[in-house]
Chains A and B, each alone.
Chain A
Amino acid sequence: MSGEARPTFAMYGAGSCGGCDIAVLNVHEKILEIGAAFEVVLWPVVMDAKYRDLEARPDSSIDLTLFSGGIRTDENADLARLLRRKTKLLVAFGSCAGEGCIPGLANLTPPAEILDTVYETVSTENPDHLRPGTQPNPGGPGQLAGFAAVLRTLDQVVDVDYFVPGCPPESPRIAEVLDLALAALRGGEDLPPRGAVLGAGESTVCDECARTRNVKQIAGFRRIQEIDHLDPTLCLLEQGIPCNGAATASGCGALCPTAGAQCVGCYGPVAGAIDGGARLMSAFASVAQARTAEEMDRILDGLVDPIGQFYRFGLAKSLLRASRSAWAAAGGEWGRR
């Protein structure tokens, strides 16, 4: 770093699919601006780097880290703590880091069962019975990272400065967030209070959805493939499609409902909502047109996968967090509240 020091930037993916990295690269020509504006010190998807180099850096010497992925292994947790120490602005980037996302659904299953499925079923060739936490190379270096009992979100492990939701976050929102961060790092703009959500609207997906809506009354739920003729202009929920848009933070531009598919809730609940899934359940139940318990049962039977419906993205961050058996495997301890 010489003369005019550029702000330093890191991006790291823990328990994630890598889609968040791709989303950042997908900001089109903006990526050139980012490359010019930041000095990239760690970004495994883009360039080679060693953990030991990261460890050698002075604390708080990285200006901005986008951390994607949930915390499932020892390695994830170590890197989360390390990056926290080295970073000024640590951002939980994407749904996995923020609320657990799809990998968080593994919290429904106790870890032993997950490992048995992955390492010991007939389709797996694993003669040495290697598992996370074991030494693959006896006498040699290296050890497979240990597998935690449950997946935790980033803020359940370390302090997080900001959250950027989405699975993945939409490119225009990423560009806005990076612009804001740059402006702030250059002293030009104040950041919102710590803990805030960046890159999402204040309202919900319905706010960005152009479909017409009426007073809601739901007589039953149907899956989208069960409907022959979907009204292209009417609210999906009113057509019996369990659309999560009403409980999901805006920011995506209502991409899915606009394309005729229900919102699955990847932008997470509106800022301040304690449990988005519970909110949505309560909303659906409120407008279900049932006069008897049997009618209500029939309507609810239309929701074939309740956890997938209400907690596809937010299970690890919800009030539920995990199934009882997974919770027991974690010793009933969640760590940071």
Chain B
Amino acid sequence: MSAGNGRPAGAAAAGVANEAGRPRIGVYVCHCGTNIAGTVDVAEVRRWAEERLADRGVVVARDYKFMCSSLGQELIEKDVAELGLDRVVVAACSPHMHEATFRGACARAGLNPYLCELVSIREQDSWVHTDGVAATAKARAILSGGVERVRHHEPLEPLRVHINPATLVVGGGIAGIQTALEIADAGFPVYLVEREPSIGGHMAQFDKTFPTLDCSACILTPRMYSAGSHPNVRLLTWSEVINVEGFVGSFKVTVLRKARYIDTDLCTGCGICQEKCPRKILDVVYEAGLGYRKGVYTPFPQAVPKYPVIDRANCTFFDNGKCKACEKFCPTGAIDFEQQDEIVTLEVGNIVLATGYELFDPRRIAQYGYGRLANVFTSLEFERLSNAAGPTQGRVVLRDGVTEPRTVGIIHCVGSRDRNFNNYCSAICCMQSLKFAHLVKEHTGATVYEFYIDMRTAAKAYDEFYQRVLEEGTIFVRGKVAEVTEVARTPEEEGKLVLQVEDTLIGRQRRIPVDMVILSCGLEPRHDTKKVAQLFGISCSADGWLIEKHPKLDPVATMEEGVFIAGCVSGPKDIPTSVAQGAAAAARVLGHIQQGELALEPIKAAVDPDVCSGCRICNGLCPFNAITFREDRMVSEVNPALCQGCGTCVAACPAGAMSGTCFSDEQILAQVEGLLLANLQGTAGREAVSA
């Protein structure tokens, strides 16, 4: 039996958590230059608060040009000290912007920071209204809501968690390698998990990198080698993360290490097994389907680690128990067909996800003919064609393997900036297409057409490279290609691929015959990105990329504390940006490690076990996997270190057993009443609240 049901519905309890009986509230109204003051009569709001909210506990109200400036913050600190304020309401911008600022000011003055409430009269008011009188009335209402709410605030203490100095980096492309090296160089252990047999990622497939045309392998392999040999990096290739538990500071990560069937203690990486293996398999990963690998293989000669793997699905021995050629010829006896998959548990304090992207599959645009017309190539296929270590030793030839093209058409924005597929710009396609044009010219001297929508070359030395390709004589046609066809209309088109395109600069339909078409395919989230997001408790955008905590100000953090993202996993990026993000994520991780201990926001959900009936409605809702069901006691429980205080479970709990600190029913209803009362003008409503 318990109290409470007799409470009048809708009326927030009048009791205020203040021993002295009456709160002493300071109100601070910010002009934000003209951001707020341009629309809202700030002085009037201050005057109104001073007069009309005095009986609600407001003892001082001030307005100031920039409350967030040090002078503005000092105003608050001074008032807390001199007037003995025990609550503060700042009417300014969104809490996302400056909540921490004003909480900090209160804390410096000795007031518990959670007794400060920031209400937004900028994003929610001045920025979205033009009528000054109405906006001023709204500002009064918002402020009044904040005052009513803050009366119910209670002091809160942050939750402290220890940070394990080890870090997990998922994905061994250039972004992940960079992250791992930065952290390892700072002296802390890193686990680098990669799904493929070698680290290197997409960059290892490229021949040249734009705009400088450095050899991709030449700049990548030293980094790969460093990561592979660094005393602080433990490489886990041919491995996948299958489970994540815990929270920032103490994650427990389960990794599946697929059996390599190679004893890495004995293997010297000599490559004899690959030479002797009789099984030839089309390599659709590294060679993009243009070349072959063996049943036992390293994806490329500079692979790190140097040890090959036996592809169980494509091994004659695993098929029918015969062969064992690799075992026969291995000089060190390193082949081990008995090896089993292994489960490894890692304990880490932070996680960086750098799982990269997948190429848009151009088969989805049937009119471009990829897969049907032999000499239509994807961008990745061309990367392999032009690569000296590739299947053609760098000869740019048609699908027959011998004929050099005399004319080449490169189509931009394949699957990007296209409402049928992806709305976004894939960011790298313009530059990669320009690089292709240059490489085609260099290798074959062919005539090159580029079909583009807009030319986007906005980074250091990018536009200069565009100028250079222009000067090399590449022909640019502004227009989206409608169709690639082998149906000739004129004798010149016989035996050619014809690109049908509207040249928007001359306003004419054109048909351009070429020997080879390169589709500059866009980047897409990996097919299992959603699963990865779920595994690590973070979210994907509608496009499927992982979401940053803030797209501008916090691009490598996520809403999950201790889980960071770097590189193309959050959207298409070029190599310099991916590297910068890798380093940035490392800096954030090192920040955590250096602190040793992290203070987490105390704004959390909690279950009252006496009220919880174990109905399990909340169990599947938590985006952070913070809720567990205790079968033994038949109640649900919130792990406070995992909880991010989003409130989803609080809203869903039908029993009212779940409550959120700083967002209690009492606080929210008081805020609603405050909003409404400000518009009543009279005192009748006021009495109702204090009744």
B621 neighbours in A (Cβ, 8 Å): 286-287
Closest-by-CB residue of B relative to A319 is B10
Q: Are A195 and B4 in contact (CB under 8 A)?
A: yes
Kindly state whether residue B458 has any CB partner on chain A within 8 Å. Answer: no
Query: Shortest distance in angstroms between B362's beta carbon and chain A's nearest beta carbon?
Result: 28
Point out the residue from A200, A216, A272 that lies within 8 Å of B615, measured CB to CB: A216
Query: Shortest distance in angstroms between B676's beta carbon and chain A's nearest beta carbon?
Result: 13
Closest-by-CB residue of A relative to B12 is A274
**Known pairs A213-B615, A216-B619, A337-B11; A203 contacts B655 (CB<8 A):** yes
Q: Is the interface of B mostly helix, strand, loop or mixed?
A: loop
Kindly state whether residue B614 has any CB partner on chain A within 8 Å. Answer: yes
A246 neighbours in B (Cβ, 8 Å): 613, 615, 617, 654-655
Point out the residue from B4, B620, B669, B691 that lies within 8 Å of A272, measured CB to CB: B4
Q: Are A192 and B3 in contact (CB under 8 A)?
A: yes
Q: Are B614 and A286 in contact (CB under 8 A)?
A: no
A200 neighbours in B (Cβ, 8 Å): 1, 5
Closest-by-CB residue of A relative to B627 is A215
Q: Are A196 and B7 in contact (CB under 8 A)?
A: no
Closest-by-CB residue of B relative to A217 is B620
A155 neighbours in B (Cβ, 8 Å): 6, 8
B691 neighbours in A (Cβ, 8 Å): 337
A-B contact pairs, 21 of them (CB 8 A): A98-B5, A196-B1, A196-B6, A201-B1, A203-B610, A203-B612, A204-B654, A206-B613, A207-B614, A215-B616, A216-B615, A246-B615, A247-B654, A269-B5, A271-B5, A272-B2, A272-B3, A279-B653, A282-B652, A287-B617, A321-B9
Closest-by-CB residue of B relative to A254 is B613
Kindly state whether residue B461 has any CB partner on chain A within 8 Å. Answer: no
Q: Are A272 and B5 in contact (CB under 8 A)?
A: yes
A204 neighbours in B (Cβ, 8 Å): 611, 613, 615, 654-655
Task: Give the interface centre of B6, B7, B619, B688 by most chain A CB atoms within 10 Å.
Answer: B6
Closest-by-CB residue of B relative to A289 is B620
Q: Are A203 and B613 in contact (CB under 8 A)?
A: yes
Q: Which of A37-45, A126-134, A158-166 contacts B (4 or more CB under 8 A)?
A: A158-166
Task: Give the interface centre of B2, B620, B656 by most chain A CB atoms within 10 Å.
Answer: B2
Query: Shortest distance in angstroms between B176's beta carbon and chain A's nearest beta carbon?
Result: 32
Kindly state whether residue B657 has any CB partner on chain A within 8 Å. Answer: yes
**Known pairs A196-B3, A287-B617, A337-B691; A274 contacts B669 (CB<8 A):** yes
Q: Are A198 and B616 in contact (CB under 8 A)?
A: no
Task: Give CA–CA (A306, B651) in the complex, Å.
Answer: 19
A interface list, Cβ under 8 A from B: 98, 155, 160, 162-163, 165, 192-207, 213-217, 235, 237, 245-247, 249-250, 268-275, 279-280, 282-283, 286-287, 317-319, 321, 336-337
Task: Give CA–CA (A250, B654) in the complex, Å.
Answer: 13
B245 neighbours in A (Cβ, 8 Å): none
Kindly state whether residue B240 has any CB partner on chain A within 8 Å. Answer: no
Query: Shortest distance in angstroms between A289's beta carbon and chain B's nearest beta carbon?
Result: 9
Kindly state whether residue B486 has any CB partner on chain A within 8 Å. Answer: no
Kindly state whether residue B665 has any CB partner on chain A within 8 Å. Answer: yes
Interface residue count on the B side (C-beta < 8 Å)? 37
B611 neighbours in A (Cβ, 8 Å): 202-204, 270
The 8 A CB mask of B657-687 against A (1 = contact, 0 = none) is 1000000010001000000000000000000
Kindly state whether residue B648 has any CB partner on chain A within 8 Å. Answer: yes
B5 neighbours in A (Cβ, 8 Å): 98, 163, 165, 195-197, 200, 249, 268-273
B4 neighbours in A (Cβ, 8 Å): 195-197, 271-272
Q: Are A270 and B614 in contact (CB under 8 A)?
A: no
Q: Are A195 and B615 in contact (CB under 8 A)?
A: no
B618 neighbours in A (Cβ, 8 Å): 286
A192 neighbours in B (Cβ, 8 Å): 1-3
Closest-by-CB residue of A relative to B610 is A202
Q: Are A199 and B1 in contact (CB under 8 A)?
A: yes
Query: Shortest distance in angstroms between A77's beta carbon and chain B's nearest beta carbon?
Result: 18
B614 neighbours in A (Cβ, 8 Å): 206-207, 213
Task: Give CA–CA (A172, B437) in the complex, Å.
Answer: 87
B6 neighbours in A (Cβ, 8 Å): 155, 160, 162-163, 194-197
Task: Give CA–CA (A203, B621) in the complex, Å.
Answer: 21
Task: Give CA–CA (A160, B612) in the complex, Å.
Answer: 27
Task: Give CA–CA (A237, B654) in the complex, Å.
Answer: 13
Query: Shortest distance in angstroms between B410's beta carbon and chain A's nearest beta carbon?
Result: 38
Closest-by-CB residue of B relative to A314 is B9
Q: Are A286 and B613 in contact (CB under 8 A)?
A: no
Query: Shortest distance in angstroms between A116's beta carbon and chain B's nearest beta carbon?
Result: 30
Task: Give CA–CA (A203, B615) in the complex, Å.
Answer: 10
